[in-house]
Chain A
Amino acid sequence: MNEMSKNENLDIQIYNFAYLDENTKRMIRRALLKALCIPGYQVPFSSREMPMPYGWGTGGIQVTSACLIPKDVLKVIDQGADDTTNAVSIRKFFQKTANVAVTEKTSDASIIQTRHRIPETKLKEKQILVYQVPIPEPLRFLEPREVETRKMHALSEYGLMYVKLYEDIAKHGHIETAYAYPVKTNGNYVTDPSPIPKFDNPKMNNSPAIQLFGAGREQRIYAIPPYTNVKSLDFEDYPFEAMKANFKCSICGSSDSYLDEIIVSDDGKRSYICSDTDYCKEQTKLNSKKED
């Protein structure tokens, strides 16, 4: 009898609950709690190799794995959508390894793992939002040396970041940064919100939900606790502005949700649809009720 069928016959549990082993989870759990105690500070952790390539959410998946409990209802989104490859495969991964319930509805989920969006539906207390983060260090593109950026955080020396934003204004007349727009967390650490559109930045401020960030390749975990002040960096005369494409969703007609631009014909005709598929469905339902 080969190894595989032996396992099938005996119904041996091949993975620990939610994939990661207990020792790894302990290490991640310690990092997560310290991250919650020091909002916005990046806690180093010994990230594991996961069964997917870097850039596909290995950090987020490790955080989710360390947090999942059997009665969780998991939602996974990629750019707001539940039905894209990355979201589908991560959702399946946890269905297989943790046997948890899954949902597409934001309000039904207890844990939401996200790549590059915050759901439009307002989050609630005790909901956990897990962000997949490619580059956790907001200063990295300005200062490549880790020793230096660490010192800059320790001294709250963020002049360089302001110079970058200022140069944007000098060159373009406004701040060019449209995603991964840096924020200051709890008045202290400048934090990378992950590559969410800056439209989503205000949702991080004073949110009732728990926001956890995992960067697998860069081996960092950080957190924004609920009801924490999160301020997008700006200048008095150039205040921060959350922006989106100035159109309506061509499916649900919503004008206040974040829109994706899609090309709908060979001659380059454009259309706009909600990036948050769950929100779009809900709006469509509401519209049809109104019509009834």
Chain B
Amino acid sequence: MENYPFSENSINSSIAFRSLVNATSYPGRTFQINKLNKPSVLSNAAATILITLCDNESNVYLSKEYNTEEVRNWLIFNTGAIISNKKNADFVIGTWKSLLPLNEFKIGVPEYPERSATLIIEETKYKKVKCNIDGPGIKNKLNIDLPNPELFIENNNLYPLGLDFYFTNDLEILSIPRSTKINIIKSEH
């Protein structure tokens, strides 16, 4: 049993999901995820999102660094997910740079805005720009660092269509859904 991602699957998936609910409800704030059995290249947080949400109806795009046999086997064995291209992906995993440009991912259609990709951004070694965010789930404007904030502004302009982002770092998760408004404080050159 110890090779399964979660010990006590139904209990630990529920706890993982609660962290996702909290992260999605309160954008820009960091929430904790528990450890699980996963391929070494994936962070605990990113692996948790995939295991908690994916099944045989989910199309998953793995960027170059994550498209390894180990990740593919782990994902398919545990969730039955379909490894897909950018265009059809429901879930996307990769480093920030490897996922650009963002316009290849699906943003939903006016009648069904939920048919859009969820992007999981691994590792934090991107060029950071100080921003201040506002919108649903944010009590007072929050200051956070984002890569290429102009892309998040563009994404928010598509609202109610658009992409939803989770930033993952080891045991931490932070969300920027499409509803979040971004203001650039200052760009670093």
A17 close to B14 (CB less than 8 A): yes
Residues 157-195 of A at the B interface (beta carbon under 8 Å): 186, 188-189
> Could you give, for residues 121-158 of chain B, a 1 whenever the CB lies within 8 Å of some chain A CB and a 0 otherwise?
00000000000000111110000000000000000000
Q: Which residues of B contact A186 (CB under 8 A)?
A: 135-136, 179
User: Judging by beta carbons under 8 Å apart, are A34 and B164 in contact?
Assistant: yes
Task: Say yes or no: B10 contacts A22, CB within 8 Å.
Answer: yes
| Count of A-B contacts judged by CB separation below 8 Å | 110
- Contacts of A112 on B, CB cut-off 8 Å? none
Nearest neighbor of A39 in chain B, beta-carbon distance? B136
| Distance between A21 CB and nearest chain B CB, rounded to angstroms | 9
Q: CB-defined interface of B2-44 with A at 8 Å, one 1/0 digit per residue? A: 0000000111011101101110111000000000000000000
B52 contacts the other chain (Cβ, under 8 Å)? yes
Q: Which of B15, B24, B53, B159 has the most CB of A within 10 A?
A: B24
Q: Which residues of A contact B24 (CB under 8 A)?
A: 33, 36-37, 225
Interface stretch, picked from B62-70, B94-102, B110-118, is B110-118
A30 touches B53 (CB 8 A): yes
If A189-B160, A228-B136 touch, does A154 touch B15 (CB 8 Å cutoff)?
no
Q: How far apart are A222's CB and chain B's nearest CB, in angstroms?
A: 10
Contact in complex: B15, A69 (CB < 8 Å):
yes
A32 to B17, CA, bound (A): 10
Chain A hits for B55, CB < 8 A: 23, 26-27
- Is B54 interfacial (CB-CB < 8 Å)? yes
Chain B residue numbers with a CB within 8 Å of A123 are none
Residue of A nearest to B58 (CB): A30
User: Contacting A150 at CB < 8 Å: which of B22, B111, B164?
Assistant: B111
What residue in chain A is nearest B10 (Cβ atoms)? A17
A25 touching B13 in the complex, CB below 8 Å, given contacts A33-B20, A128-B21:
yes
Q: Does A188 contact B25, Cβ atoms closer than 8 Å?
A: no
What number of B residues sit within 8 Å (CB to CB) of A? 37
Is B178 an interface residue when CB atoms closer than 8 A count as contact?
A: yes
Grouping DSSP codes into helix (H, G, I), strand (E, B) and loop, the A interface class, with mixed when no group exceeds half, is mixed
Is there contact, CB below 8 Å, between B137 and A226?
A: yes
Q: Which residues of chain B have C-beta atoms less than 8 A from A36's C-beta? A: 21, 24-25, 137, 177
Shortest distance between the CB of B140 and any CB in chain A (Å): 9
Chain A 223-248 interface residues, beta-carbon cutoff 8 Å to B: 225-229
| A66 interface residue per 8 A CB criterion | yes
- Assuming the contacts A25-B13, A225-B136, asked whether A67 and B159 have C-beta atoms less than 8 A apart, the reply is no
A16, B10: Cβ atoms closer than 8 Å: yes
Q: How far is the CB of B37 from chain A (nearest CB, A)?
A: 16
In Å, the complex CA distance between A153 and B108 comes to 14
Among residues of A, the one whose C-beta sits closest to the C-beta of B166 is A33
Nearest opposing residue in chain B for A16, CB measure: B10
Bitwise, B76-88 to A at CB < 8 A (1) or not (0) is 0000000000000
Give 21 pairs: A residue, B residue, CB < 8 Å, sorted on A: A22-B10, A27-B57, A33-B24, A33-B53, A33-B164, A36-B21, A36-B25, A38-B160, A38-B178, A43-B114, A66-B17, A67-B14, A67-B17, A69-B15, A125-B26, A150-B111, A154-B110, A186-B179, A225-B26, A225-B179, A226-B25
Report B's interface with A, CB cutoff 8 A. 9-11, 13-15, 17-18, 20-22, 24-26, 52-55, 57-58, 110-111, 113-114, 116, 118, 135-139, 159-160, 164, 177-179
Interface of A with B (CB < 8 Å)? 16-18, 22-23, 25-27, 29-39, 41, 43, 66-70, 125-126, 128, 150-151, 153-155, 186, 188-189, 208, 210, 225-229
